[in-house]
């Protein structure tokens, strides 16, 4: 039982890493990784939102849509749930911690449009997770996202002083680096 | 009278980058000779071809960027990359496999980041992994070490190697390939370790046949580099210790589910080559000594995890790349304590 | 006047401000579904459709919503269009739907869309928004297809394989290649390849841009830059 | 035996010390011309107290300390002051700075001086006075005024006095020879120091590569209670912080001074100088300097008079100019390269290194950093030089600070070992400067912001006030109709403006601590001071005189005006006038002896100087730099511009018309005058 | 103020909800039938590849029987599909799992004609190394077609393995493990069919009858 | 009831989503009032990074307005006095890409300078005083004026209004105190330029 759950976590964090293997949440991954500090803030926010959204959408699906036979409405209701969770978080953060809001500022709304959030909700349904699994999967996905985001940010800080050819500066080399990272992550294949 | 107006220091030690790289090349010679004894001359063909391709690619990129070609080619770093990649791939892999690998390593792995010193990922390992993923057949066809298969009179000589590598000998390699010891252990579900040793020809004294000696010689070369202070002991030793630690932890006395003894892990696959030639790549590892210890330990751990539970029988390349990826982050948290600063803080 | 504006919108969407290559939005589908042309094209078309429709809709109702509920309202519109597309694809291109998987519902979050709705449609007229949406979608779809083409070609040596999934059985024969004995270059089809090829594509665009710029400079030697300096201290009397 | 501690990092470059220890210290004699920079130490430059033409005696103070952290300068031989002005300084920049030049008369005649052999009778302040007046600044490194260092605050009780005899740099043997030949003097000096500081222990630290000196010192120190400690040779164990760690095991915490952990470090040359000053009353006028390197034939140590040009030493040791590739003051690790052999020996000059090309070849081309970490291994401060390098390259100042760039002692170990030949230290020096400028810019921008905002506020207030006044005026006008009006509103507005100016002046005054309280004057002075740093670069005394006169006149006018208007700022004006008068006196005094200075002043001209000079010249009304023709063209151009402006103004019915008219007429007048002059010139 | 803000916002959002939902719901209602049909077609496609439509005239998807055996390597009981021509069974399609693939399980379906020969084998899911083990997938190579028409006796039982193990079937260059696993699994399915043939057919016929009744 | 609803797909859908919409709208409406904020701390931070030269070369009347503009999305590369370092800092703060300085023709990074008034030519018109955003010019009407060097930011706004052109901008010279080693520049072989078809980028 415990083993299953830890495998689920390892799977979500490493083997099927959301960003590098499943291609979810790439926009913030590329956009918020220029600075380590910011990346850490973003990680925290995403972890929070992702876990919460995962739970909320699971509840919505199991207790509202499924009994009423409205599963085809899942996309729109999930996105609604997520949008509200994010918007609400943003308002709270803006008020309670301007510093954090400064760091996350433009990116909090971007979390809504972060594929990872909707993706995790949908994958939970596809893979028929139960409540606990959904929560864990959401959390694991977020940790996986945070892990690569933070490592990537540290790496980009290093790249920013490298003598990269002019045309590759910025996003291009970022993409290629992400590619090599994804290459490295292929090494985790088969762990679960 | 014009005197030089430069900043201090005015004196400089005689070591330079090119000489460091050359030393690394020298240190790899014993291991390479040992490999060629067990697996034949293919490795020489590979090394030469890889160097040619590497220099070609490097020159091409430098030309495109409008840099002085000579100055950079002379630093030998491209050659080191090429040689290490050539050692890592099977001796009779077709020429185009090596070409693609080296080109990928030198162009994308190294020069897109600005060349020597700027690349975050170990170029040779980037090349290796790309090949392993793209051409698994060619990349897993290791020949049998000398004297392991009954009907195999001798390992291929130089001419055979040329013919094999450049494709004039159809389906030649397949005839004498065989799973590597690590692969055998990994696939083993039934036999106990001691039985494996008796039944499988792949096993030698304390690790894989042939492989154990190659590892030994690479370790000797590595110790020479250590002695010449090309790198410090931190990364390689902590990697070996971590690997040994996990292996000992999961050895369970040699049952059929055993992951293999520490000895076996140390002297199998590319462990020693990795520990002393790849993990030590200064450019892509963590910078501080503390950082390098963490870095080495991370590689050792990942190595064991992937070897035992992952899809790949040997995982030097993957572990190194993963650790490369973490290196800047490690650096961020392992700054040494500066003179006059309190412990742990700024 | 109007003409130049539309032209500008097109240039923006297709090239200058391309959602995928410049704004770096909508990266997930960009990387995930571009293993082959057909996947790319399928998702590209779907995205384009949603983008145009939602832009029109958002621009229609732009005066109705205030800041607090702007985001959910817009998202809802886009979600509606996406859901419809999803259902339609399920009904009429089932296999493609299966292959594209969750990336169809994810069109919603495909940041490109939201970015546009927020940035453009909520401030512009219906016509302009429609053109903008279409062009942005087009730019995105183009990149998808180009990327899909490159990856398919290098990765498996074919082009336009499996087009029947999208265009019916007759399209099955559109496939070109693979050349005999082509070993494939797996890495290009796998996730790492997606990133790397995209990186190359971005760099390629940079090169072209640079070339264009230097050419433009060569042509118009020195155009007088009008001063934008502003008097800090106001009118001097 | 005392246990010594290890320091991290460090290197072992070839020592090359034996070459210069073969012969005994030799006196360098008296050169013809000696040059004394006013700033041979850390702190404010000394103030000259002699004038050109004055005769001075050996040991006579020629410049006095200027503030607390400063030391005087003494003549090292007798002779005549021939110049006070710019001369190339022993400074890595190769720039010029204020120096006093003395032409030796060869008599080497001492000024009267008297020592205090029974110094133990004196208390600390008295001894410190002697030391300070003897001009003693640290001779081992940066030249920090010893009297300051020897005067720790009461909350810094000194436990350990460390005498630095390490001499860890290759080539240098000045301290080594000093120990071999003058151990007694050193120890006497140490005793003086011990008396001043009353430490619980006194240690002389010497590297173990100086066996002979060690033996001699050990022998001499027997029974004195002074410990001689040797430790393994390693560069840079002579660095103050490193030495403290080696001897005591303690580290000087970041941002603190050695005294904060109860340690004072002095070089043993400094100790000797202190002995001579206290016991014999001789100020610091000479030092031991090693002249070495393969480009000199006789590598040896000289007892050198301060102020001797290094060409003098080089000639004495038969240098071969053709093979000398560089000229280093100091050692090969920390010394700085010079370009001019006329640079004088100063208090901190322990070595002149003249290598040939084979010895210290031209730096190899810089290659890319391979992050090999050799630099980090060598760094005695446990920094990560490679990271600092990457961040320097990327100009990431914040990161540099995070990585403690400030703790780099610029020892050069990292550059020495770097296999890629990266001049790391240069990167650090540049980055440190960039951080400094950045910090200053920040301060300035903060000030600017405050000023700008204050101004905006003021404008608002003024606008309001104007509005109020306008109404008041309307009111007044109304009243005026009724009764006979006495004063129109104009007066009010003038006073108003005056008030603003006064306020501004007051504000400025409050900000400035300089004694010269006239902000206008201060501003100008500062502007001028910024020229190439040489006081000689100031305007010629004549110009100054004229200017001050002009200013005085104006001030007097103002005063007059103020009296007429019954202003309440009469005091301020009269004070200003008095000051101007004083300045006038001064300036008049300065006029006679300017000939030399002027020559020197012009050695260092750049565009800024040009501009200022031009402006000054014009202002001074005399000797315009422009030829009359040029002046006329310029004037014409300006006139054209002014007319244009006037025209636009007229077109737009601008309020400025008056001003423009005035300017046009001024210019026309000027033009006429100039033309006239031209004709005159042509005629004559 | 607060009340008003809440009120207005929720009304507007509600309005949006009405419009958008109607849109989706209408689309759903109009595509519902088509979607169900497509889903069934997709599920049937793999089955049809093994037993083509010419050979049977029932709907296999609805003609199932639950099977469960060690031999099949499956954890829970699963559906086997039966193909009939006019009510007479012609073939059975049995699910199976090969547990010993190079990296994990390989899920298969094996179609067996009533005469015990193989009608076809397909790999449903696997996670073998791309380029090596994944050639068991028909999309990558037609190695899997090599099982067609083989049976328990053709080749002989001890030849039911890969060439490397001195068996009949080819392995791939550089990959023995995956084909070995698949071959063994198919062999076990044949054994299962052999043992349970009666049961399967009987059961199936029974079901068929009851179906006919109902 | 539930039965009934699930029998009516359209109705069910409507009820569910409208319900969700209502609830969420209420929640957000509540939050928008409860957590309303004013002011934007980021503008201050941006302003703190600008050089405060107040020269207007960015196209805004002063640094703060430009800071506000940046907050609202204007490019960060418009301030010539700040130059590259300011752009880098802004990029860092806002986590955006560093852009090359976007200056008008000939208005690139200039050495720091101060205004200098040739006093004998000054006619005391006070134009420069009004122009100076720093109050760095002193003097009364009809009397010569002078610049307080330490206060002058070198914005050169005072130069143009002067009717007699008596104001010069003088570059601040290096002194022993401000002199410093420069970053090694002899690296043509390393940094060089990425050439592309003979055109340096
Ligand atoms: C800017 C500066 C300020 C210093 N202030 C003091 C001080 O207040 N008291 C003191 O005893 N030493 C002071 N020192 C001296 C240092 O502690 C040290 O002894 C001196 O810099 C010798 O440097 P060296 O190692 O480079 O020769 C100061 C040094 C510097 C550079
Ligand atoms: C790297 C380095 C090496 C030094 N080596 C010596 C040395 O060998 N001998 C010495 O007296 N001072 C040396 N100094 C200067 C000392 O740090 C210290 O300033 C000096 O001993 C203080 O004494 P002073 O004030 O009497 O000069 C060195 C400084 C540095 C930074
Ligand atoms: C990275 C890697 C992946 C492999 N993947 C597979 C696989 O998916 N299927 C397989 O049968 N063999 C795979 N192999 C090869 C086997 O481990 C083993 O070498 C091979 O099956 C032995 O075949 P041989 O006996 O014909 O040499 C892989 C090997 C490596 C190194
Ligand atoms: C001790 C040592 C180990 C090295 N190991 C590698 C290696 O594993 N892979 C590689 O591509 N280059 C290696 N190099 C060469 C060089 O550092 C490498 O090409 C750089 O990563 C290119 O920037 C090594 C060099 C040294 C000195
Ligand atoms: S010694 Fe030189 S090459 Fe090595 S890490 Fe330090 S700076 Fe880089
Ligand atoms: S110069 Fe600075 S960084 Fe280099 S070794 Fe010395 S203290 Fe360390
Ligand atoms: S250009 Fe820069 S310094 Fe000038 S006003 Fe704008 S922000 Fe301020
Ligand atoms: S004096 Fe002139 S240049 Fe200086 S701040 Fe004032 S207006 Fe700007
Ligand atoms: S498309 Fe932007 S996060 Fe996925």
Contact A179 C203 (CB under 8 A): no
To test the pocket of ligand 9, the residue of A20, A21, A26 to mutate (highest count of ligand atoms within 8 Å of its CB) is A26
**In this structure, what DSSP letter does residue F183 have?**
P
Question: Which two tokens mark C96?
Answer: 């493609």
- Give the three-state DSSP class for D257: coil
Please, what is the angle between helix D424-482 and helix D385-393, to 10°?
Answer: 50
Q: How far is F18 from chain E (nearest CA, A)?
A: 5
Least confident of B244-258, D312-326, F30-44: F30-44
Q: Which of B121, C27, C112 is nearest to A19 (CA)?
A: C27
Candidates A161, A164, A169: best to mutate against D (most CBs of D within 10 A) is A161
What is the rounded distance in angstroms from the CA atom of residue E97 to the CA atom of residue E74?
6
Least confident of D101-105, D533-537, E87-91: D533-537
Please, what is the angle between helix B234-249 and helix B289-309, to 10°?
Answer: 30
**In this structure, what DSSP letter does residue B176 have?**
G
- Tokens 């990649």 belong to residue: B85
Q: Which helix (H) or strand (E) holds D160?
A: strand D160-164
**Cβ atoms of A57 and A82 closer than 8 Å:** yes
Closest in C27, C195, C207 to A27, CB measured: C27
- The band of F73, judged by pLDDT with boundaries at 50, 70 and 90, is confident
pLDDT of F74 = 79
- Tokens 């995070």 belong to residue: D402
Contact A158 D390 (CB under 8 A): yes
D587, pLDDT greater than 80: no
| Cα dihedral sign, B317-B322-B324-B327 | negative
What's the whole-number mean pLDDT along residues C51-68? 80
| Cα dihedral sign, A58-C88-C53-C139 | positive
What's the whole-number mean pLDDT along residues D314-343? 91
End-to-end CA distance of chain D: 90
Q: What's phi and psi for A127, nearest 5 deg?
A: -95, 10
Tell me the sheet residues that pair with D296.
Answer: D319
The CA angle A94-A98-A102, to the nearest 5 degrees, is 95
Contact F127 C228 (CB under 8 A): no
**Cβ atoms of F135 and F54 closer than 8 Å:** no
A47 exposed, middle or buried (CB, 10 Å; 0-12, 13-18, 19+)? middle
Q: Which helix (H) or strand (E) holds C131?
A: helix C126-156
Residue D511 CB partners (closer than 8 Å, separation 6+): none
Contact B140 E131 (CB under 8 A): no
Q: Which of C14, D298, C153, C70 is nearest to A83 (CA)?
A: C70
Q: How far is A7 from chain F (nearest CA, A)?
A: 35
pLDDT of A41 = 79
Question: Which two tokens mark B137?
Answer: 């057949």
Q: Which helix (H) or strand (E) holds E97?
A: strand E88-101
Q: What's phi and psi for C60, nearest 5 deg?
A: -65, -40
F45 exposed, middle or buried (CB, 10 Å; 0-12, 13-18, 19+)? middle
What is the rounded distance in angstroms from the CA atom of residue B36 to the CA atom of residue B46?
11
Tell me the sheet residues that pair with E107.
Answer: E97, E125
What is the rounded distance in angstroms from the CA atom of residue B169 to the CA atom of residue B153?
18
Residue F193 CB partners (closer than 8 Å, separation 6+): B66, F200, F201
What is the rounded distance in angstroms from the CA atom of residue A132 to the CA atom of residue B84?
47
Q: Which of E128, E114, E124, E150 is nearest to E45 (CA)?
A: E124
What are the tens digits of pLDDT across the range A18-42?
999 888 888 888 877 888 887 887 8
Q: Is the CB of F154 under 6 A from ligand 8?
A: yes
What are the tens digits of pLDDT across the range E140-199?
888 999 898 888 888 888 888 888 788 888 888 778 888 989 999 999 999 888 888 777
Q: Which long-range contacts (CB under 8 A, 24 or more apart) does D615-618 make?
A: D615/F116, D615/F118, D615/F168, D616/D539, D616/D543, D616/D547, D617/D543, D618/F118, D618/F120, D618/F121
Q: How far, CA to CA in Å, does D637 sit from each of B72, B208, D621, D668?
A: 57, 93, 20, 11
What is the rounded distance in angstroms from the CA atom of residue D301 to the CA atom of residue D290?
4
What is the separation of C-alpha F119 from the centre of its chain, rounded to a whole number of angstroms? 33
Query: E: neighbours with 3+ CB pairs under 8 Å?
Result: A, B, C, F
Closest in F62, F141, F181 to D452, CB measured: F62
Question: Which two tokens mark C152?
Answer: 């398919």
Chain B residues with beta carbon closer than 8 angstroms to that of F194: 65-66
What is the rounded distance in angstroms from the CA atom of residue B20 to the CA atom of residue B23?
5
What is the rounded distance in angstroms from the CA atom of residue D365 to the CA atom of residue D368?
10
- The CA R_g of chain E, rounded to the nearest whole Å, is 24
What is the rounded distance in angstroms from the CA atom of residue F189 to the CA atom of residue B105?
23
| Residue scoring higher pLDDT (D470 or B276) | B276
Interface residue B346 vs chain F (CB under 8 A): no
**Cβ atoms of C149 and C49 closer than 8 Å:** no
| Residue scoring higher pLDDT (F130 or C112) | F130
- Give the three-state DSSP class for D184: helix
Q: What percent of chain C has pLDDT over 70?
A: 84
pLDDT of B227 = 94
Tell me the sheet residues that pair with D47.
Answer: D64
What are the tens digits of pLDDT across the range B130-163?
999 998 888 887 877 776 665 555 667 777 777 7
What is the rounded distance in angstroms from the CA atom of residue B169 to the CA atom of residue B182?
28
What's the whole-number mean pLDDT along residues D193-200? 92
**Cβ atoms of D300 and D22 closer than 8 Å:** yes
Question: Which two tokens mark A118?
Answer: 């909707």
pLDDT of E203 = 63
The segment with the largest mean pLDDT, out of B21-25, B33-37, D623-627, F130-134, is B21-25
Asked if the bond preceding C136 is cis, omega within 30° of 0, the reply is no
What is the rounded distance in angstroms from the CA atom of residue C147 to the CA atom of residue B153?
50
Closest chain C CA to residue D456: C233
What is the rounded distance in angstroms from the CA atom of residue D306 to the CA atom of residue D43?
19
Closest in C64, C98, C190 to E12, CB measured: C64
Q: Is the CB of C111 under 6 A from ligand 9?
A: yes
What are the tens digits of pLDDT across the range D650-684?
666 555 566 666 666 766 776 676 666 666 655 55
Contact E2 F23 (CB under 8 A): no
C102, pLDDT greater than 90: no
Atom index in ligand 1 nearest the CA of residue D144 equals 20
Residue nearest to atom 7 of ligand 6 (CA): D408
A3 exposed, middle or buried (CB, 10 Å; 0-12, 13-18, 19+)? exposed
B266, pLDDT greater than 80: yes
pLDDT of D650 = 64
What is the rounded distance in angstroms from the CA atom of residue D18 to the CA atom of residue D300?
10
Atom index in ligand 6 nearest the CA of residue D412 equals 1
Report which bound ligand comes closest to the CA of D350: 2
- The band of C54, judged by pLDDT with boundaries at 50, 70 and 90, is confident
**Cβ atoms of B127 and B109 closer than 8 Å:** yes
D588, pLDDT greater than 60: no
Residue nearest to atom 10 of ligand 4 (CA): B81
Please, what is the angle between helix D268-275 and helix D174-197, to 10°?
Answer: 60
ipTM of the complex: 0.84
**Cβ atoms of E46 and E109 closer than 8 Å:** yes
Q: How far, CA to CA in Å, does D662 sit from each of C48, D665, D667, E66, F124?
A: 69, 5, 9, 110, 11
Average pLDDT, chain D: 80
Average pLDDT, chain A: 85
β-pairing, D300-305 vs D26-27, is parallel
């Amino acid at each position: 039982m415990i083993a299953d759950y830890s495998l689920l976590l390892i799977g979500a964090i490493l083997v099927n890493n959301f960003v590098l293997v499943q291609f979810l949440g790439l926009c913030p991954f590329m956009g918020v990784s220029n600075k380590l500090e910011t990346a850490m803030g973003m990680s925290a926010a995403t972890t929070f939102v992702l876990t919460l959204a995962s739970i909320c959408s699971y509840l919505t699906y199991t207790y509202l849509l499924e009994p009423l036979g409205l599963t085809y409405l899942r996309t729109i209701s999930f996105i609604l749930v997520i949008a509200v969770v994010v918007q609400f978080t943003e308002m709270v953060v803006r008020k309670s911690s301007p510093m954090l809001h400064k760091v996350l500022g433009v990116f909090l709304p971007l979390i809504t449009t972060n594929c990872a959030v909707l993706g995790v909700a949908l994958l939970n349904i596809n893979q028929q997770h139960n409540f606990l699994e959904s929560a864990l999967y959401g959390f694991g996905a977020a940790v996986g996202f945070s892990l690569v985001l933070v490592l990537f940010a540290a790496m980009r800080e290093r790249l920013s002083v490298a003598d990269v050819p002019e045309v590759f500066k910025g996003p291009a080399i970022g993409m290629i680096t992400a590619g090599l990272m994804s290459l490295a992550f292929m090494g985790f294949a088969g762990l679960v | 009278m014009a005197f030089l107006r430069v900043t201090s220091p005015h004196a400089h030690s005689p070591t330079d980058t090119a000489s460091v790289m050359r030393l690394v090349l020298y240190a790899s010679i014993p291991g390479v000779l040992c490999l060629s004894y067990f697996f034949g001359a293919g490795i020489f063909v590979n090394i030469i071809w890889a160097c040619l391709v590497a220099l070609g690619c490097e020159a091409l990129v430098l030309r495109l960027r409008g840099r002085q070609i000579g100055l950079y080619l002379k630093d030998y770093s491209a050659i080191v990359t090429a040689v290490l990649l050539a050692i890592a791939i099977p001796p009779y892999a077709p020429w185009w496999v090596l070409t693609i690998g080296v080109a990928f390593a030198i162009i994308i792995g190294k020069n897109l980041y600005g060349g020597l010193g700027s690349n975050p990922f170990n170029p040779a390992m980037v090349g290796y992994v790309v090949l392993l993923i793209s051409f698994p057949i060619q990349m897993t066809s290791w020949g049998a070490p000398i004297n392991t298969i009954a009907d195999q009179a001798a390992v291929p000589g130089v001419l055979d190697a040329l013919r094999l590598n450049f494709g004039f000998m159809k389906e030649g390699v397949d005839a004498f390939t065989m799973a590597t010891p690590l692969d055998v252990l990994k696939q083993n579900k039934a036999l106990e370790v001691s039985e494996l040793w008796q039944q499988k020809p792949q096993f030698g004294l304390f690790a894989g046949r042939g492989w154990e000696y190659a590892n030994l010689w690479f370790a000797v070369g590595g110790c020479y580099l250590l002695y010449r202070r090309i790198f410090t002991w931190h990364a390689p030793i902590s990697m070996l210790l971590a690997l040994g630690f996990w292996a000992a932890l999961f050895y369970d006395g040699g049952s059929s589910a055993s992951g293999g003894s520490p000895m076996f892990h140390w002297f199998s696959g590319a462990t020693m080559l990795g520990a002393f030639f790849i993990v030590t790549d200064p450019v892509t590892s963590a910078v501080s000594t503390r950082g390098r210890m963490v870095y080495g330990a991370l590689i050792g751990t990942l190595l064991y995890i992937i070897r035992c539970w992952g899809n790949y029988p040997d995982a030097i390349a993957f572990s190194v790349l993963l650790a490369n990826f973490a290196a800047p982050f490690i650096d961020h948290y392992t700054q040494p304590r500066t003179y006059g600063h309190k412990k742990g803080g700024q | 006047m109007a003409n130049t504006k539309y032209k500008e919108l097109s240039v923006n969407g297709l090239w200058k401000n391309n959602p995928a290559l410049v704004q770096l939005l909508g990266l997930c589908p960009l990387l995930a579904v571009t293993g082959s042309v057909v996947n790319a094209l399928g998702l590209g078309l779907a995205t384009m459709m949603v983008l145009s429709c939602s832009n029109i809709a958002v621009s229609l109702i732009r005066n109705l919503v205030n800041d607090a509920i702007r985001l959910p309202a817009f998202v809802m519109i886009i979600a509606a269009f996406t859901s419809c597309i999803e259902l339609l694809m399920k009904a009429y291109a089932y296999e493609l739907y299966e292959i594209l998987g969750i990336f169809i519902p994810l069109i919603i979050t495909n940041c490109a869309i939201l970015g546009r709705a927020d940035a453009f449609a909520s401030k512009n007229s219906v016509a302009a928004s429609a053109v903008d949406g279409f062009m942005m979608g087009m730019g995105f779809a183009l990149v998808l297809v180009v990327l899909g083409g490159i990856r398919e070609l290098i990765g498996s040596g074919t082009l336009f394989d499996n087009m029947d999934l999208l265009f019916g059985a007759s399209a099955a024969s559109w496939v070109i290649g693979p050349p005999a004995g082509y070993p494939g270059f797996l890495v290009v089809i796998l996730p790492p390849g997606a990133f790397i090829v995209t990186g190359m594509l971005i760099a390629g665009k940079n090169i072209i841009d640079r070339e264009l710029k230097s050419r433009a400079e060569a042509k118009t030697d020195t155009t007088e830059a009008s001063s934008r300096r502003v008097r800090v201290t106001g009118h001097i009397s | 035996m005392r246990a010594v501690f290890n320091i991290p990092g460090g290197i072992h470059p070839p020592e090359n010390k034996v070459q210069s220890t073969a012969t005994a210290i030799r006196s360098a004699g008296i050169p013809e011309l000696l040059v004394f920079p006013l700033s041979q130490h850390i702190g404010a430059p000394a103030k000259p107290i002699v004038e050109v033409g004055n005769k001075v005696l050996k040991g006579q103070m020629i410049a006095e300390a200027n503030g607390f952290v400063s030391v005087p300068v003494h003549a090292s031989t007798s002779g005549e002051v021939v110049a006070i002005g710019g001369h190339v300084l022993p400074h890595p920049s190769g720039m010029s700075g204020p120096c006093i030049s003395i032409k030796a008369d060869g008599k080497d005649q001492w000024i009267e001086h008297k020592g205090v052999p029974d110094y133990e009778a004196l208390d600390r302040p008295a001894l410190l006075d002697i030391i300070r007046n003897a001009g003693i600044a640290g001779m081992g490194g940066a030249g920090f005024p010893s009297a300051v260092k020897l005067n720790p605050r009461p909350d810094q009780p000194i436990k350990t006095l460390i005498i630095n005899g390490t001499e860890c740099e290759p080539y240098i043997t000045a301290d080594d020879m000093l120990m071999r030949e003058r151990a007694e003097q050193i120890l006497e000096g140490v005793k003086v120091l011990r008396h001043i500081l009353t430490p619980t222990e006194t240690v002389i630290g010497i590297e173990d590569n100086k066996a002979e000196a060690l033996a001699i010192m050990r022998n001499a120190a027997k029974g004195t209670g002074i410990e001689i400690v040797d430790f393994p040779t390693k560069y840079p164990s002579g660095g103050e912080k490193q030495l403290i760690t080696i001897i005591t095991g303690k580290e000087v915490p970041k941002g603190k001074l050695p005294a904060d952990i109860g340690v004072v470090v002095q070089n043993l040359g400094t100790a000797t100088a202190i002995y001579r000053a206290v016991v014999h009353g001789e100020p610091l006028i000479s030092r031991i300097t090693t002249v070495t390197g393969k480009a000199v034939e006789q590598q040896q140590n000289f007892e050198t008079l301060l102020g001797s040009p290094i060409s003098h030493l080089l000639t004495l040791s038969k240098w071969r100019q053709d093979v000398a590739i560089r000229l280093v003051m100091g050692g090969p690790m920390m010394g700085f390269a010079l370009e001019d052999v006329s640079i004088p020996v100063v208090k901190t000059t322990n070595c002149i290194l003249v290598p040939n090309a084979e010895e210290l070849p031209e730096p190899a081309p810089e290659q890319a950093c391979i992050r090999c970490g050799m630099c980090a291994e060598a760094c005695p401060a446990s920094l990560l030089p490679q990271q600092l390098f990457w961040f320097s390259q990327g100009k990431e100042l914040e990161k540099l600070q995070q990585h403690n760039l400030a703790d780099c002692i610029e020892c050069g170990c990292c550059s020495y070992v770097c296999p890629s030949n990266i001049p790391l230290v240069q990167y650090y020096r540049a980055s440190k400067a960039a951080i400094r400028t950045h910090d200053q810019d920040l301060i300035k921008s903060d000030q600017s912001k405050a000023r700008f905002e204050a101004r905006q506020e003021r404008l608002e207030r003024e606008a309001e006030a104007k509005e109020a006044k306008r109404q008041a005026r309307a009111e007044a006008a109304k009243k005026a109709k009724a009764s006979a009006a006495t004063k129109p509103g104009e007066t009010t507005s003038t006073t108003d403006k005056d008030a603003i100016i006064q306020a501004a002046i007051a504000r400025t005054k409050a900000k400035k601590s300089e004694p010269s309280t006239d902000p206008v004057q201060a501003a100008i002075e500062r502007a001028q001071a910024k020229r190439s740093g040489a006081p000689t670069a100031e305007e010629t005394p004549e110009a100054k005189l004229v200017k001050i006169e002009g200013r005085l006149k104006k001030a007097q006018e103002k005063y007059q005006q103020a009296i007429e208007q019954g202003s309440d700022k009469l005091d301020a004006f009269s004070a200003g006038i008095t000051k101007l008068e004083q300045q006038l006196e001064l300036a008049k005094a300065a006029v006679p002896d300017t000939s030399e200075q002027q020559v020197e002043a012009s050695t260092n001209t750049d565009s800024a100087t040009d501009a200022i000079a031009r402006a000054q010249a014009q202002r001074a009304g005399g000797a315009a730099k422009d030829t009359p023709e040029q002046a006329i063209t310029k004037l014409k151009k300006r006139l054209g511009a002014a007319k244009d402006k006037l025209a636009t103004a007229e077109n737009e019915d601008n309020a400025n018309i008056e001003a423009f008219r005035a300017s046009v007429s001024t210019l026309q007048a000027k033009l006429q005058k100039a033309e006239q002059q031209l004709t005159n010139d042509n005629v004559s | 103020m607060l009340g008003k803000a809440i009120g207005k916002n929720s009304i507007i959002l509600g309005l949006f909800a009405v419009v958008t939902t109607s849109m989706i719901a209408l689309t759903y209602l109009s595509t519902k039938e088509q979607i169900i049909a497509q889903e069934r077609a997709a599920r049937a496609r793999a089955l049809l590849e093994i037993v083509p439509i010419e050979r049977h005239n029932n709907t296999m998807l609805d003609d199932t029987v639950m099977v469960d055996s060690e031999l099949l390597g499956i954890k829970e009981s699963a559906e086997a599909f039966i193909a009939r021509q006019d009510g007479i069974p012609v073939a059975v399609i049995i699910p199976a799992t090969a547990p010993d693939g190079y990296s994990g399980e390989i899920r298969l379906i094996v179609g067996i004609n009533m005469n015990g020969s193989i009608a076809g084998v397909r790999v449903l899911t696997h996670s073998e190394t791309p380029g090596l083990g994944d050639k068991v997938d028909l999309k990558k190579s037609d190695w899997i077609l090599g099982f067609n028409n083989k049976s328990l006796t053709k080749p002989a039982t001890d030849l039911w393995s890969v060439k490397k193990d001195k068996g009949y079937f080819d392995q791939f260059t550089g990959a023995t493990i995956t084909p070995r696993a698949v071959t063994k699994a198919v062999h076990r399915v044949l054994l299962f069919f052999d043992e349970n043939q009666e049961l399967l057919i009987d059961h199936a016929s029974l079901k068929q009858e009851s179906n006919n009744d109902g | 009831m539930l039965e009934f609803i699930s029998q009516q797909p359209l109705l069910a859908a409507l009820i569910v989503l409208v319900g969700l919409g209502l609830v969420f709208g209420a929640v957000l409406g509540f939050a928008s009032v409860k957590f309303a904020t004013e002011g934007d701390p980021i503008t201050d931070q941006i302003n703190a990074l600008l050089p405060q030269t107040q020269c207007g070369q960015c196209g805004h009347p002063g640094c703060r307005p430009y800071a506000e503009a940046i907050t609202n999305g204007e490019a960060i590369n418009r301030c010539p006095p700040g130059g590259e370092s300011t752009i880098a800092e802004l990029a860092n703060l806002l986590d955006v890409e560093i852009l090359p300085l976007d200056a008008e023709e000939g208005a690139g990074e200039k050495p720091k300078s101060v205004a200098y008034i040739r006093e004998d030519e000054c006619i005391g018109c006070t134009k420069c005083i009004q122009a100076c955003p720093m109050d760095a010019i002193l003097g009364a009407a009809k009397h010569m004026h002078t610049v307080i060097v330490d206060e002058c930011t070198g914005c050169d706004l005072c130069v143009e209004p002067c009717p007699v052109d008596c104001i010069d901008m003088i570059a601040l010279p290096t002194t022993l105190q401000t002199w410093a080693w420069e970053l090694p520049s002899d690296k043509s072989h390393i940094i060089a330029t990425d050439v592309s078809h003979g055109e340096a980028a």
